[in-house]
Chains A and B, each alone.
Chain A
Amino acid sequence: MSNIIDKVFEHSTRIIAFSVLLIVAWIFTVLFQNSLDSMQAFGFDFITDTKWAPNLEKFGALPAIMGSVISTFLAMVLAVPVAIGVAIFLSEIAPEKLKSPIGVSIELLAAIPSVIYGMWGLFYFVPIIRDIFGGLGIGMLTAGIVLAIMILPFMAAVTRDAMDTTPDILKESAYALGGTKWDVIKDIIIPYAKAGIIGSMILALGRAIGETMAVTFVMGNVHKISLAITAPATSIPVTLANEFTEADTELYFSSLFELSFILLLISFTIISIAKFYFLRKTRRA
């Protein structure tokens, strides 16, 4: 009897596992098929063209791609140093009594739905940016800052976890040679945890680049490449969120699908690099 239950269990879990793979393949196929019209109409120009004019049936994705890349880059530049600082504090400097409450608060922050970061950004951040830089207060810079704040808790928590895997005996060996706390952090802990740290940064990057709700309100949805990071701009997910309901022609619809296909490819690549290259080692530990 228990044998039969085991068999049933084994088979059903296998079916569930395979259906996950199937869903991934299915999503890829759907996105690809729906992109075909746009791919045939624009070819490679779709990625390099800067003009996005639905009324002229002209679709160039470069502003959206650039917007995604630049806002994510800004977010990383702002978030990485702070996340490393927070992680160092949590793993090496904070007194034992503080480690756990601060650590838990950071994990809670990481669980806040991104739409809340978006609303908070719109109502509290946009006015600040407007006061400082003038203009509308929406654009790449605001999006970058909101994204940075959004990915920071995750990054800090995972970086701390990676640092915590450094064996005590290794740290003690450096102290035993006359190292200071700072020496041990920079020479032992960071190099030891490097792969895990970089991996978590890349995972955060993957999350930032695909983020929709946190930036939809603060980006502007303007398909224009501007030298000023304070000018309204757009990104791939922002375009998708704003324009699917307006897509009144086949080609418009298909172009949006091609955008989403590009986004999927970017995210997939980033997450694969993080998982299979950098996080391989820490997994084992």
Chain B
Amino acid sequence: MATIINIPHEKALEVKDFQFTYNGTTEPSLKEISMPIAKNSITALIGPSGCGKTTLLRSFNRMHDLYPGNRYEGLIEFKGRNILEPKEDLIQLRTCIGMIFQKPTAFPMSIYDNVAYGLRLQGIKNRSELNDRVEKALQDAAIWKEVSSRLKHDANGLSGGQQQRLCIARAIAVEPEVLLFDEPTSALDPISTQGIEKLVIELKEKVSIIIVTHNMQQAARVSDYTGFMYLGELIELGITEELFVTPKERLTEEYITGKFG
């Protein structure tokens, strides 16, 4: 029923017959989802509010495990294994698959300590190695110039856009292979949004990216592939230009032409 293209790229992740059911509900919130996630590319997930974009995104780093009673079925393959297996080491998984949230989430500590946080969790204590990697991450997140003179200051003193870039720096400092973005610009002004979008595009050289957005223009601007979701199902996955110009599914067409949403 759904139209899922085959991607020519190497795959970072592969979702197969995936179902997800929240604790206390009988109806699965995600139904029979199968999709490839291309390596070193940006895959956008679009669809009306409540269609399951966040739920799908949070399955890739098993965030749902933080709350009891949620149920996964099917497969999500990552580096040759199914990460939905109960024996999966979640600490290790989350250092490989990082996440950026809807709102900036600077920790109550200094700018430096925020970026060093994930590195320290991995047991890196060497001062000069920490310094180097913090600086590199801040540079890659295009915020080094703004904060280099005040690394010891409280991160909560930064603006929203700066905080979001700090969160990106914090996530890339541990050198993940995949980055998950959940509407990363929904709390930001247009200028900061532009900055984040530019940054996301630059990042795909090093990581594979999945970005959830309710903003179709954003998906069109940044992504290589776009998946359209509706009522817990993936309706269509295609090359971004093709999906927006010549959608294969009627639902996709209706959504992108604004007939509902």
A interface residues, Cβ below 8 angstroms from B: 95-96, 167, 169-180, 183, 187-188, 191-192, 194
B interface residues, Cβ below 8 angstroms from A: 61, 63, 66, 68, 91-92, 94-95, 98-99, 101-103, 105, 107-109, 117-118, 121-122, 167, 170-171, 174
For the complex formed, measure the closest distance between the CB of B176 and the CB atoms of chain A, giving whole angstroms. Answer: 9
Within 8 Å CB of B167, what residues of A?
173
Q: How far is the CA of A189 from the CA of B165 in the complex (A)?
A: 22
Interchain CB contact (< 8 A) of A174 among B61, B92, B107: B107
Asked if A178 and B103 make an inter-chain contact with CB atoms under 8 angstroms apart, the answer reads no
Within 8 Å CB of A176, what residues of B?
61, 63, 94, 98-99, 101, 171
Asked if B103 and A169 make an inter-chain contact with CB atoms under 8 angstroms apart, the answer reads yes
Within 8 Å CB of B170, what residues of A?
177
For the complex formed, measure the closest distance between the CB of B130 and the CB atoms of chain A, giving whole angstroms. Answer: 15
Within 8 Å CB of B103, what residues of A?
169
Given contacts A176-B94, A178-B91, A178-B121, contact A188 B107 (CB under 8 A): yes
Asked if B66 and A175 make an inter-chain contact with CB atoms under 8 angstroms apart, the answer reads yes
Within 8 Å CB of A191, what residues of B?
107-109
Interchain CB contact (< 8 A) of A187 among B63, B99, B107, B171: B107
Asked if A188 and B63 make an inter-chain contact with CB atoms under 8 angstroms apart, the answer reads no
Residue of B nearest to A96 (CB): B68
Interchain CB contact (< 8 A) of A170 among B102, B105, B174: B105
Asked if A178 and B66 make an inter-chain contact with CB atoms under 8 angstroms apart, the answer reads no
Q: List 18 A-B contacts (CB under 8 A).
A: A96-B68, A169-B105, A170-B107, A172-B63, A172-B66, A173-B101, A173-B105, A174-B117, A176-B101, A177-B95, A177-B118, A178-B95, A178-B174, A179-B91, A180-B91, A183-B121, A188-B108, A191-B109
For the complex formed, measure the closest distance between the CB of A244 and the CB atoms of chain B, giving whole angstroms. Answer: 48
Q: How far is the CA of A183 from the CA of B101 in the complex (A)?
A: 19
Given contacts A169-B101, A169-B105, contact A177 B121 (CB under 8 A): yes
| A-B contact sample (4 more), CB < 8 A, given A169-B102, A175-B66 | A178-B122, A187-B117, A191-B108, A194-B108
Given contacts A169-B103, A187-B117, contact A177 B174 (CB under 8 A): yes
